[in-house]
Amino acid sequence: MLKIDDLHVAVGENGDAILKGLSLEVPAGEVHAIMGPNGSGKSTLSYTVAGREGYDVTAGDVLLKGESIIDLDPDERAAKGLFLSFQHPMEIPGVQTMNFIRTAMNARARARGEDEISAADFLRSVREKAKLVGLDDTKLKRPFNVGFSGGEKKRMEMLQMAMFEPEFAIMDETDSGLDIDALKMVGDVVNALRAPSRGFLVITHYQRLLEYIKPDAVHVLAGGRIVKSGGAELARELEQSGYEQFVEAA
């Protein structure tokens, strides 16, 4: 479903190479985890796949459902069903949360040639899903993420993921800064969305989250490449042994 093929990415004015031949394939219906030390290129990978400016693909390709997306704008990739849960979600003062989510959903719907969601359906759905992610109704009326705690911002990411029902979701350290209850909530959202037609790439430092989301595969990212792949047990191994062996190897 998501295929990353020998991806080389350079970042910044100096064109520093961060990803150096990364290859990875997540078939439909599967959840893959990427683990790796700081500076290994995890966020670069998520930004590049989502199409952020300034992340130059110098070689390789990214395919979503068999179609190359590297020449598409971020919103065009979003319209194709790609969702990124941000490690550091933005605050947007002056934009009411509910209005924002609805505006975004309608923009995606228009781009996909689908009908916009009705006000009544939206309201029912957003309230139901806010409950699922543990966000109070009053938060939905506040400016987007303004004054929210780190945990609440992550819940807001999960709320949007649940609302958008993306075909493929990348979760960039969604677990960082979350307590056990919130981790369980993230697991619940992902597990509820798991479907034969949907894929997930979960980027994390720790294997804790993977107790709630059982991955089909775990990949170790170090030095800009996948250096090891395995099953769920690899995450537990890493928790024991650390990343040092891979950093040296890379």
Partner 1 sequence: MSNSLLINPSAFEAGLEAAFLARSKPNETGQAAFERFAKQRLPHRRIEGWKWSDFNAALRSTALTPAPKADRIDPSAFAALNPIEFTIVNGRVEAPAEEWPEGVRFGVMESVGTIEELESHPIVSMNVAMTAKSLGIEIGDGVELERPILIRHIAEGGGLSFAQSMIRVCPGASVRIIETYEGDGGGFSSHLFHGLVRDDASLERYLVNETGEAAVNHAICAVKMEARAAFRQTSLSTGAKLSRHETLLHFWGEGASAHIDSAALVAGARHADFTSHVLHKQPHCTVRQLHKGVAADSARTVFQGKFEVERAAQKTDAQMTANALLLSDGAEADHKPELEIYADDVECAHGSTCGALDDDALFYLRQRGLSNEEARSLLIEAFASEVIDGIEDDAVRDVFAARVAAWLEARS
The pair of three-digit structure tokens given for residue 188, joined into one six-digit string = 């619940």
User: Smaller CB distance to partner 1: residue 80 or 198?
Assistant: 80
In 90-117, which positions are buried (b, 16+ CB within 10 angstroms) versus exposed (e)?
eeeeeeebbebbbeebeebeeeeeeeeb
Task: Pick one of 24, 86, 178, 202: the residue that binds partner 1 (CB under 8 A).
Answer: 86
Task: Pick one of 6, 16, 67, 75: the residue that binds partner 1 (CB under 8 A).
Answer: 75
Determine, following the binding rule CB under 8 A, whether residue 180 of this chain makes contact with partner 1: no
At its nearest, how many Å lie between partner 1 and the CB of residue 170?
Answer: 10
Determine, following the binding rule CB under 8 A, whether residue 182 of this chain makes contact with partner 1: no
Contacts of 58 by beta carbon, 8 Å cutoff, 6+ apart: 8, 9, 10, 17
Task: Pick one of 31, 105, 126, 234: the residue that binds partner 1 (CB under 8 A).
Answer: 105
Determine, following the binding rule CB under 8 A, whether residue 104 of this chain makes contact with partner 1: yes
Specify the long-range contacts of residues 105-110, CB closer than 8 Å, at least 24 apart. Answer: 105/163, 105/164, 107/75, 108/78, 108/79, 108/164
Task: Pick one of 57, 63, 95, 193: the residue that binds partner 1 (CB under 8 A).
Answer: 95
Determine, following the binding rule CB under 8 A, whether residue 202 of this chain makes contact with partner 1: no
How many CB atoms within 10 Å of residue 166?
A: 22
User: Smaller CB distance to partner 1: residue 76 or 233?
Assistant: 76
User: Smaller CB distance to partner 1: residue 34 or 82?
Assistant: 82
Determine, following the binding rule CB under 8 A, whether residue 90 of this chain makes contact with partner 1: yes
Give the span between the Cα atoms of 113 and 69, in whole angstroms: 19
Determine, following the binding rule CB under 8 A, whether residue 111 of this chain makes contact with partner 1: yes
Determine, following the binding rule CB under 8 A, whether residue 189 of this chain makes contact with partner 1: no
Sequence letter at residue 179 = D
The pair of three-digit structure tokens given for residue 149, joined into one six-digit string = 């705690």
Give the span between the Cα atoms of 59 and 77, in whole angstroms: 19
Residues near partner 1 (CB under 8 A): 47, 50-53, 73-75, 77-79, 83-84, 86, 89-90, 92-95, 100, 103-105, 107-108, 111, 160, 164
